[in-house]
Amino acid sequence: MISNPLIIEEGTKVFVAMLVGAVIGAEREYKSKAAGFRTVILITVGSTLFTILSNLISNDGRIASNIVTGIGFLGAGAIFREGMNVKGLTTATTIWISAAIGMSIGIGQYQLAFAALIIVMLVLLSFTWIQKLIERTNKIETYTISFVQSNEFDFDDLIKLIQEYHLTNSISKKIKTQNKYTGIFSIQGTLDNHEQLIQALYESEYIIEFEV
């Protein structure tokens, strides 16, 4: 049986870090994010361990300060570009805040850690409906639209088609392959207007293919 008070105290910190990481990680795993259940647990436990070791070795925080740098690399790996959109930012910031919570546990600030945990879960779970409301009123999508240019339909006609549904657009790239033209657009507007545009693209005799 372990009787060393220091081992019990530091072991408790690691155990608490595991539980906190499990709570955040479960939400990420449920949403099938890159940093899931096991990853977030390892981040919080690792941050807690480095903070404990920093205090035991030098007590000046130099080792713990390097956690931020290491976590930065992990977060950068979760961010990627898809068309004109950048994805993975929420996952990256979740990694970042999980490490911060682990550090707070490492110095014994349990109340601060649990307060941060509540805020994190509130943002990840309860604020989803606000995000959906914003997306319904102002959504930006990347469209790749291909058509055969003729006297009856060209890029100007395609832009007019988009604007018919009260959507603002900017074209980032034009591609011509033989008689086939492709435009990559960033289109902004309400979700309903996006859906109407997609239906119009399906029904248009001039559009060969498109991707959203």
Structural domain boundaries of the chain?
5-126, 137-211
**How does residue 125 score in pLDDT terms, banded at 50, 70 and 90?**
confident
pLDDT score at 143: 93
90, 34 in Cβ contact below 8 A? no
Architecture category of domain 137-211 in CATH: 2-Layer Sandwich (3.30)
Type and span of the H or E element at 64? helix 62-78
Radius of gyration of the chain (CA): 25
When pLDDT is cut at 50, 70 and 90, the band that residue 44 belongs to is very high
On the question of pLDDT at 2 being above 80, the answer is: no
Residue 144 pLDDT: 93
The gap from C-alpha 188 to its chain's centroid, in whole angstroms, comes to 20
Give yes or no for residue 196 having a pLDDT over 90: yes
* Dist CA 92 CA 115 (whole Å): 20
pLDDT > 90 in the chain, percent: 43
3-state SS, residue 108: coil
CB 171 within 8 A of CB 183: yes
For residues 113 and 98, the answer to whether their CB atoms sit within 8 Å is no
